[in-house]
Each structure stands twice: as C-alpha cells, then as structure tokens.
Structure 1
Amino acid sequence: MPSPAAQSPRQAGDAEAVAHQAETTIEVGESESDTGYESESASSASTSVSSSVRDYTFENGRRYHKYSEGRYLFPNDEPEQEREDMKHAMVLNLCGGRLHYSPLDNPQNVLDIGTGTGIWAIDFGDEYPSASVVGVDLSPIQPSWVPQNVKFMVDDAESPWIYPVNHFDFIHLRHLASSLKDTPGLISQAMANLKPGGWIEMQELYFVLSSDDNSIPETHAFSKWLTLVRQGLESFGVDLLGPAKSQERLKDAGFENVTERIFKVPIGTWPKNQTLAKVGLYGQAMCVDGLQGNSMKSFTKGLGWTAEEVEVFLVDVRDSLKDRKVHSYLTFRVCYGQKPVGTS
C-alpha cells in the first residue's frame, strides 16, 4: 500500500491552507510519474472486546461484521482495516495534523462514533491524556494495547444510546456517510448526550468527482462508478451525498456556532504542491484499494449485478483512477457545532 513520507508542520500547514479553500485551484505538477514515493505496509489490528461479538460472516471472499448484521455494507477484514488507517493518515496530512477543528477546552468525556480500528480515538487519547475516550463501532477490530484513557464498545450508533444525557464534551464522527440511514436522528441523540457547551464534529468525504481544468472525460469509469455506488446505496436507505447537508442538519437540531470547512482531496500525485501530492497518493490508493469491497454488496444486492459483472467493470475503473491526465479530486467536509450553553 503506497504511503507518503512524513512532512514538517509547516508543509502540512501549507497544504491545509491550499486545500481548505474549496474555490482555490490546485496547481498541476509537471511530473508524469510517481517517482519518489515509497510504499510501506500497515499493521493490522486485533480485537479488544469480548469474544461474544467476534463472529463474522463471509461473502465474495471478504469478511463482514456479524453484530447487527447488514447494518454496515462493507468489509471489516485486514485489507479494509489497513485502508481505514491509511485514510486516517490522509486526513492528518490534509489537515496539518489536526484531529479536530472544534475549539475544545480541556475535554473530559469524548465519544468517537464509528471508531473503526480505533486509530483516531487512540491519537486523541494521547493528545488529551486527561480525557476519557470511548470509541464505538459495529466491529470488534480495535487493538488490545491502547492508552489507559481509551476504551472501545461494540454498538450500533443508530440504536437508542445508553450513555447519560448531558455527559460528553465532544462527539466525533468520521467516514460514516456510506453507512448512516438516519443522520438527523443520530444528531438528535448527540444533542441530548452532549453537555451544554459541548461540541459535535462530522468529518466526511463527499463522493462527487470534480476538476478545476475540466480534465474529467464524460466516459470516465470512476465517475460512473461513483454514480452507480450512490444508486446502490440508495436501495439500502443510505444517502451518500448526505455530507452536503451536515451544516443544515446541525442548525436544524439546535446547534450554534456551526462552521464548515471544505478541503480538496486530489486523486493521484498530479498536484504541484508536494504535500497535496502526498495526500493525492493516499486518495488514489484509498479509492483503488477500496473498489472491490465498496462495490460488491451495493452492486450485487442493490443494483442486481453479478459478482463477475462487478469485477469486469472494476478493471476499467482502476485504470481510470491511475490516469495522470485527469486532475480530479473529491472534497472532505468538516462540519462542527456547539450545544447551546443554556440547554439541558
């Protein structure tokens, strides 16, 4: 799995300044190759919760969660865990190393919804050692060795919450657009369980392909794939375009000081800015490595395709993702808001 080298805080900050302005054009670099980018392997995680929820199901050669079976349509096996950790690194590079944008003041109780491998929760626990961090996910794939102030639970965040009301200082959600069926309901539960003055932050990729130089051809296979996967997920009640509504949804739920930041995530190493080129390498690998796992259930069960038809189609999609003549990007949307201080 390709992985960019580390960069200095100044480089990361420069990339953030370039990327977070949605109207800013990303300059295209001159190189037609990916020379200079090394590859490394990521370690896989082992579970840290009871064996009663460790059962899995298998389909088309991939492993899926068993708890609340069918709620999450994508694999949870080691290749997917590595991809999730890679996405975390991509976001850190994109955002200058920041784990959040909410203006937190000594948070003590923190909830990470859809924690996945737990990598964000662990990093947050390290950065805020006085905080108690709870990571929640449908899959028990988190590591055993974690900071003492971090713990993990297996639960469905769209079921009624068991946490005390007015309890959390910060609730964090990331990469959940492809699985949530009732985002307003989840936001409502977050409002009830946040302390007055607490913050919620939603960080999501927005899966619409764009370019600043009109270099995406009408026949672009990855662009077609995005349309099809959105249609497939719609049959399961999932709106992949939901992140565009985050700001409105937080305001409708009663949150104040709602702010949205939009970053460009290049697909490939075409940007002239070297840090954005590294982000683009992550973005490209994120898409290529996730094609098979992200396609199977949405295409076969949602659109009626056969597994063989999916695999044949993905050949062209992979090729389109590696075309350096196409200067495409997705966007990463960070939206956060505060529970009014005078509420209960």
Structure 2
Amino acid sequence: MSNTSSPKSRSPRSPQDPSVAVNETIAVDEPQDEEEDLTLGSDADSSTASISSSILNYRTINGRTFHSERGNAAYWGSNDERQSDAMDIATLPSHHIWTLAHDGELYFAPLEDNIQKVLDVGTGTGIWAIDFADKFPGCEVIGTDISPIQPGWVPPNLKFEIEDCTQQWTFPSESFDYVHLRYLVGCIPDWTELFSQAYKTLKPGGWVESFEISPTAESDDGTVTHDSAMAQWGRIVIEASEKIGNSFTVVDDKVQKPALQEAGFVDIHEWEFKCPLNPWPKDPKLKEIGRFGEVFLTQDTEGFVTLAANLLGWSMEEVHVYIAKFRREVRNRKHHVYIRLRAVWARKPETKEEPVPA
C-alpha cells in the first residue's frame, strides 16, 4: 500500500454559489403574450434542433465523434444514441446544465494543478472525463461505467474501463487524488458503501465529489401542482426505484453528507442549486440553463420514462399519453418549475490526521 499523499490542495471554495441562494425565490420573466407561453410543435422542434446542432458543432470543432457500440447494461435511462445525446446536453462543458450552474467549472474540490490521477465513476458518455483530461494533460484520468458508450477518440491521458461501481472496486488502495461521481441517483443501493470504496482508493488528502439531482419538480409560486405530470414524474421514478432497491431521493433526503461522514471523510462542503426546467426565469444565466433543461427533458422523454413505467405496470398507451402531457407542461412558460441539484465534496484525512466533525 502506497503512503503517497495527494498533492496539497488549495483552500475550499465557498460552498454556496451566491447567484442562486436556495432559499431565495427566482424572479420570473413574464411572457410578452400568450403565444410565448407554449413553445409547442415546430417552434419547439426547431429550438431543440438548434441546441442539439450547437452541441454537435462543438464536438466537431474539437475533433471528436461519438460512435462506440452501445452495450446492454442496466441503468435508469436508456443507453441508446438518443439518450446519449440527451445526456451530452447535460454534461458538455460551456453548453451543459452543470457547468452553466457552476460558472464554467468542472468541479468544486480545491484541486492542485499538478494533480496526478483521477477516477470518474459512472462516466456515461465520458464528456466530463474528456474535458477534465483536456484541462489537466499531465493527469491520468480513468472513466468507468457499466456500458461502453464512450467515444474511441479521447485525450491520450484518458482511458475508459467497464466496471460496476456497486460491486467491489478493482483499483489499488490509495491510488487516486480525486474521485468524481455524478448522476448515480437511482443506481446505488448503499451510498455509504459507495463512498467507502472511494475512500479506499483515494490517497490521504485526496478529494471525493458527488453531484446529484432531485427528481422532484418544484415551484416557488404554486405553478407546479400536485396533479401535474411534472410533479407525477418524481413520484413515478421514486416508486419505481424502490422496487429495485435503489433510492432516487438522494438529494431530497440529503443522503450524501452523512454517507460521506460514515465513510470517514472530513472537510465536507455542500452546494445546492435551483435548476429551472424551461426558460421562465428573468436572470439571463438561469434562463439559459432553463433552455437546456427543457431540451434535456423533452429530447428523449421516452428514454427516461419507459423503464420506470414498465416497473409500475403501465401500458405503452399510458406511457405515450403521459409523455405528451409532460412535454406540454415543461414547455409552458407559466409553469415556473425547477429541480434541485446538489454537489458535496469532502477530503480523505492525512494518514496521521485525526478526523474532525464536518
């Protein structure tokens, strides 16, 4: 077992983005006329095509195409090309929801420029790992997932491996400086065990960072009602995930911080963000995030809904009716809907360091 410590870190950033304090009400950009409330039909299709095109252009400019064979691994969403494109929208830096919310940053943990080895767990299409590897060309980056949907053309310091993070990890102890986990909600039966595996693989002084999303649609002004399709979505995936023994309420139940504490981590920091799901906010940054949120949810709604609906015994007719209603509601600017994002990052103590309360 190596006793090499992770490179010394900078002081942690402020745990709360001041632009959207979670207890503040987001200002609404009132539509100029009734027609602007509903972006249905060709207008919505055009908007989706435009954003999708900009993403594909970004990837082409950077010399990469995503053409790997798709696997058959289990996941709460589909792993076909449509779903992968939808996930790209939510994970591509300068275009994606997370980095827009983070002011362009890929992470919150106070990492050093000379970071040596990083693990991206649940890498999905590999977009985050690719951008991290580009940002730190001297760092070895490994992305793991249960399905081989990553591209073949990647930075030379990046490789992808097939691994199920709910099983025992195969990496040597104390071999990574940073472990990044994102969008694992609904896939993990035991979060303390997950973070314990991360703890084991991290060098002393290394950082772990967990980014997760709530399925619960909310509004500050009552425009998302209990009987709406948007509110029903949260209940659908929560009930379906319970049937397979995994939780979708990681953010709602504030699971990450106590699980990290139980795993032995210290210096735990949290960040929470109200993420609009259509461009209803007045704030330009939130409006842009809302545009991507809308496309993310409506581009391949079937990929998100079908598995959960099947677990609940829905017919395909019921699924299609629900999806149509869901899309109409998401595109209606009178629905001031958002979901919560949460990032939690923490440090593994130095070898001789006494753990301190977070």
Structure 2 length-normalised TM: 0.82
In the alignment, which residue of structure 2 is the partner of 1:212?
Answer: 220
Shift of 1:217: 2.2
Shift of residue 86, structure 1, vs aligned partner? 0.3
Shift of 1:39: 3.3
Aligned AA for 2:317? E
Q: Does 1:114 align with 2:122?
A: yes
Equivalent residues of 2:301, 2:323 under 8 A apart: yes
Aligned to 1:61: none
Conserved 8 A contact 1:265-1:329: yes
One-letter amino acid matched to 2:66:
A
State the alpha-carbon separation in 1 of the partners of residues 30 and 318 from structure 2: 37
Identify, as 1 or 2, the structure richer in strand.
1
Q: Which secondary structure state, in structure 2, belongs to the residue aligned with residue 142 of structure 1?
A: coil
Matching of residues 94-243 of structure 1 within 5 Å: 94-105=101-112, 106-243=114-251
SS in 2 for 1:296: helix
The DSSP-based 3-state class of the residue aligned with 2:303 is: helix
2:260 to 240, 244, 250: 250
Amino acid paired to 2:89: M
User: Would the aligned equivalents of 1:270 and 1:327 in 2 still touch at CA under 8 Å?
Assistant: yes
Deviation of residue 239 (structure 1)? 0.5
Distance 1:309 1:209 in 2: 21
Deviation at 1:311, TM superposition (A): 1.3
Of the three residues 302, 309, 327, the one matched with 1:299 is 309
1:18/1:24 contact within 8 Å kept: no
- The equivalent residue for 2:347 is 338
Q: Which residue of 2 aligns with 1:324?
A: 333
Q: Residue 343 of structure 1: CA displacement?
A: 5.8
**Aligned counterparts of 1:310 and 1:30: Cα–Cα separation in 2:** 32
The secondary structure found in structure 2 opposite 1:295 is helix
Q: What is residue 51 of structure 1 aligned with on the other side?
A: none
- Look up the match of 2:283: 273
Quick check: 1:266–1:283 contact (8 Å CA) kept in 2? Answer: yes
* TM-score (ref. length: structure 1): 0.85
Gaps of 5+ in 1: 1-14, 48-53, 57-64
Please identify, of 191-200 and 141-150, the stretch whose mean Cα deviation from structure 2 is larger: 141-150
Alignment coverage as a number of residue pairs: 310
1:202-248 deviation per Cα after TM superposition (whole angstroms, max 9, x unaligned)? 01111222212222223211111221121011101110002321011
Any conservation in 2 of the 1:261–1:335 contact (CA below 8 Å)? yes
Match of 2:30 in 1: 30
1:17 match:
18
Instruction: Determine the structure 1 residue equivalent to 2:81.
Output: 78
1:299 partner amino acid: A
C-alpha displacement at 1:24, in angstroms? 2.0
Cα pair distance change 1:343/1:298, threshold 3 Å = farther
What SS class does the counterpart of residue 241 from structure 1 fall into? Answer: coil
- What is the DSSP-based 3-state SS (H/G/I as helix, E as strand, rest coil) of the residue aligned with 1:210? coil
Cα distance between partner residues in 1 of 2:129 and 2:18:
25
| Aligned partner of residue 215 in structure 2, secondary structure | strand
RMSD: 2.1
Aligned to 1:242, what secondary structure does the other structure show?
A: coil
- SS of match in other structure, 1:156: coil
Give the C-alpha shift of residue 16 in structure 1: 5.1
Cα distance per residue 1:281-331 (max 9 Å; x no partner): 11112122242111112211x211122221122221111111211111101
Unpaired runs of 5+ in structure 2?
Answer: 1-15, 57-64, 354-358
Q: Helix, strand or coil for the counterpart of 1:29?
A: coil
